[in-house]
A and B are shown apart, each in its own frame.
Chain A
Amino acid sequence: MTLLAPFADDPVDLSAHGPLREEVRGFLEEERARRGIDHWVGSWEGFDRSFSEALGARGWLGMAIPKAYGGHAPDGPGGVLKRYVVLEEVLAAGAPVACNWISDRQSAPLLLRFGTEAQKQALLPGIASGNLCFAIGMSEPDSGSDLAALRTRATKVDGGWTINGTKVWTTHAHLADWMIALCRTSPVDESDRHAGLTQFLIDLSAETVRISPIINMAGDHHFNEVVFDDHFVADDAVVGDVGGGWHQVISELAFERSGPDRFLSTFRLMVEMVRAAGPEPDRYAAEAIGKLTGRIWAIRRMSLQVAGLLEQGQMPNVEAALVKDLGTTFEQSVPEVARRVAESEGADLSVLFQALLDYDILHTPSFSLRGGTREVLRGIIARGLGLR
Chain B
Amino acid sequence: MNEDTRLLTDTAERLLADHLDESRPEDGVWDAALWQTVEEAGLPLLLLPEAAGGLGLAPGDCWGVLAALGKYAAPAPIAETLLAGRLLADHGLMLPEGPATVALTDGPELTASKTDDGWLISGKVEAPALGESQICVAMAKAEGRHLLCRIASGGLAVAPARSLSGDPVGRIDLDGLALPADAVAETNDGEVVLRQGAIIRAVQMAGALDAVLALTAGYAQERVQFGRPLAKFQAIQQQLAELAAEAALATAAARTALQYFDDPGALFEVAAAKSQAGEAASRANAIAHQVHGAIGFTREYSLQHLTRRLWAWREQFGSEAYWQRRLGTLVAQKGADGLWPQLAVR
Contacts and interface: CB of A to CB of B under 8 A. Distances in A.
Interface in B323-339: 323-333, 335-337, 339
Given A301-B256, A388-B231, A388-B232, A285 B328 contact: yes
Interface stretch (B167-175, B183-191, B236-244, B302-310): B236-244
B344 A92 contact: yes
Interface size for chain A: under 10, 10 to 19, 20 to 34, or 35 or more residues?
35 or more
Contacts of B275: 290-291, 294
Interface string B61-89: 00110010000000000000000000000
Contacts of B345: 15
Contacts of B232: 387-388
Given A279-B335, A290-B271, A322-B244, A375 B238 contact: yes
A220 interface: no
Main secondary structure of the interface of B (DSSP, over half): helix
Interface in A278-321: 278-281, 283, 285-291, 293-302, 305, 319
Interface string A137-163: 000000000000000000000000000
Contacts of A290: 271, 275, 323-331
Nearest to A380: B241
B327 A7 contact: no
A11 B245 contact: no
Interface residues of B, number: 63
A280 B253 CA distance: 27
Nearest to A297: B272
Contact of A379 (B206, B237, B337): B237
B321 interface: yes
A225 interface: no
Contact of A11 (B237, B250, B259, B321): B259
A288 B346 contact: no
Contacts of B332: 274, 277-281, 285-286, 289
Interface stretch (B41-49, B106-114, B209-217): B209-217
Contact of B329 (A7, A286, A387): A286
B105 interface: no
Shortest Cβ-Cβ A-B pairs, 3 listed: A290-B324, A290-B328, A290-B327
Interface of A: 1, 3-4, 7-11, 13-15, 21, 88-89, 92, 267, 270-272, 274-275, 277-281, 283, 285-291, 293-302, 305, 319, 322, 325-326, 375, 377-379, 381-382, 384-388
19 contacts: A1-B214, A7-B251, A8-B67, A8-B252, A13-B346, A277-B332, A286-B324, A286-B325, A286-B332, A290-B275, A290-B327, A290-B328, A294-B273, A294-B275, A300-B343, A301-B253, A379-B234, A379-B241, A381-B241
